């Protein structure tokens, strides 16, 4: 079985794939000071609740956008799960994705995994919208190549900034308000955050489509994706496991015998 680890700025997701489907997944807050041993205690206990143990794992793959956590995740895999992990972004890792940007080394591993899984499942051209700590919009070409994207502040970051920068506005939860025009401070803030973000989503997607000159399929992933997808016809699919599926596919590609002269 494969243990896949997707480490974002806010949360780390651990998931086990049995070769056919995902058996279980678990989420923890990202803390740079947490050690491999601490992760191991937490993770092995949760695995046991699902009838799994470290002896069931014969491969590991890691994507992280938090460099400070990378060393401990590598040690977790090496000490507790039997070997060095495949780390997306390492120079020798083959993804099969041509990366057509100025600095390929700066492309987040999660965005690369989304491109891999998105093109495999939905074809191209494709835009992947990932609702995370930042909201990212990534353009994938008809051939599966990564062509660039847009990075915007995540909606939770926007809410936190609004609260931190004002003296009298409360901290609110992100939700779809019942009315556009708020009749009190909280409902006015909820409307501004939700519908303002809808405007950002639709505006960026429209401009990306115009710039690309095609009508791409749009797939959304990330925890807040379901909140927005029903409010716009521009998002065609929601895929909660997209990043993990991409990690699984990258791991499978690198376990296979590489073709002569292959660099991707």
Tell me, what's the pLDDT at 60? Answer: 97
Q: Is 21 annotated as a binding residue?
A: no
Q: Is 53 annotated as a binding residue?
A: no
Q: What CATH number is attached to the domain comprising 67?
A: 3.30.420.40
Q: Is 130 annotated as a binding residue?
A: yes
Q: Is 87 annotated as a binding residue?
A: no
Decide if 261 is inside a domain: no
Q: Is 245 annotated as a binding residue?
A: no
Look at residue 169 and give its three-state secondary structure.
coil
Residue 244 and residue 116 in one domain: yes
Residue 127 and residue 242 in one domain: yes
Under-50 pLDDT residues of the chain: 257-263
Decide if 95 is inside a domain: no
Residue 244 and residue 213 in one domain: yes
Residue 234 and residue 142 in one domain: yes
Last residue of a domain, which of 59, 87, 115? 87
Q: Which domain holds residue 81?
A: 2-87
114 and 130 Cβ atoms separated by less than 8 Å: yes
Q: Report the domain count for the chain.
A: 2
Half-sphere exposure of residue 94: CA atoms within 13 angstroms, side-chain side: 14
Tell me, what's the pLDDT at 214? Answer: 82
| Alpha-carbon gap, residue 116 to 122, rounded angstroms | 10
pTM for this model (two decimals): 0.90
DSSP letter (8 states) at residue 105: G
Residue 156 and residue 78 in one domain: no
| Helix axes 242-255 and 109-122, enclosed angle (nearest 10) | 90
Catalytic residues: 110
Decide if 137 is inside a domain: yes
Residue 221 and residue 121 in one domain: yes
Tell me, what's the pLDDT at 16? Answer: 98
Tell me, what's the pLDDT at 199? Answer: 96
68 and 32 Cβ atoms separated by less than 8 Å: yes
Residue 181 and residue 142 in one domain: yes
Whether omega for the bond prior to residue 138 falls within 30 degrees of 0, making it cis, is no
Tell me, what's the pLDDT at 255? Answer: 87
């Amino acid at each position: 079985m494969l243990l896949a680890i997707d480490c974002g700025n806010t949360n780390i997701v651990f998931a086990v794939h049995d070769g056919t489907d995902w058996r279980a997944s678990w989420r923890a807050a990202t803390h740079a000071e947490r050690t491999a041993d601490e992760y191991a205690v937490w993770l092995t206990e949760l695995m046991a609740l699902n009838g799994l143990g470290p002896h069931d794992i014969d491969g590991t793959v890691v994507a992280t956008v938090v460099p400070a956590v990378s060393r401990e995740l590598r040690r977790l895999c090496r000490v507790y799960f039997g070997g060095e992990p495949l780390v997306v972004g390492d120079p020798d890792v083959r993804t099969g994705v041509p990366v057509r940007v100025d600095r390929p080394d700066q492309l987040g591993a999660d965005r690369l995994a989304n491109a891999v899984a998105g093109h495999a499942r939905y074809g191209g051209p494709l835009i992947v919208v990932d609702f995370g700590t930042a909201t990212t919009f990534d353009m994938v070409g008809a051939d599966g190549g990564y062509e660039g994207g847009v990075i915007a502040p995540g909606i939770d970051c926007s809410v936190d900034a609004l609260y931190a920068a004002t003296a009298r506005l409360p901290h609110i939860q992100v939700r779809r308000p019942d009315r556009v025009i708020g009749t009190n401070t909280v409902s006015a803030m909820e409307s501004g955050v939700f519908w303002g973000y809808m405007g950002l989503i639709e505006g960026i997607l429209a401009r990306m489509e115009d710039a690309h000159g095609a009508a791409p399929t749009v797939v959304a992933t990330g925890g807040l994706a379901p909140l927005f997808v029903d409010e716009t016809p521009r998002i065609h699919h929601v895929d909660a496991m997209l990043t993990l599926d991409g990690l699984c596919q990258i791991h499978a590609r690198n376990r296979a015998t590489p073709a002569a002269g292959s660099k991707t």
